[in-house]
Amino acid sequence: MQPISEEERKRILESPPIGTWVLMLTVGIGFVVAWIFLYFGVFMPRGFVD
């Protein structure tokens, strides 16, 4: 494996963490979908609390 140049190293360190943003977005969407499922699939059919 060839060592990377100083310019390539600097470019990598200064680039935004795209993979982290994609993972955070995926987890966030999963939480929202799970909450909507619980709200409309579990809580709403049981009715109001008296």
- DSSP structure string for the chain: -PPPPHHHHHHHHHS--HHHHHHHHHHHHHHHHHHHHHIIIIIHHH----
pLDDT tens string, the chain, 50 residues long: the values are 889 999 999 999 999 999 999 999 999 999 999 999 999 999 999 988 87
Q: Is the pTM of this model over 0.75?
A: no
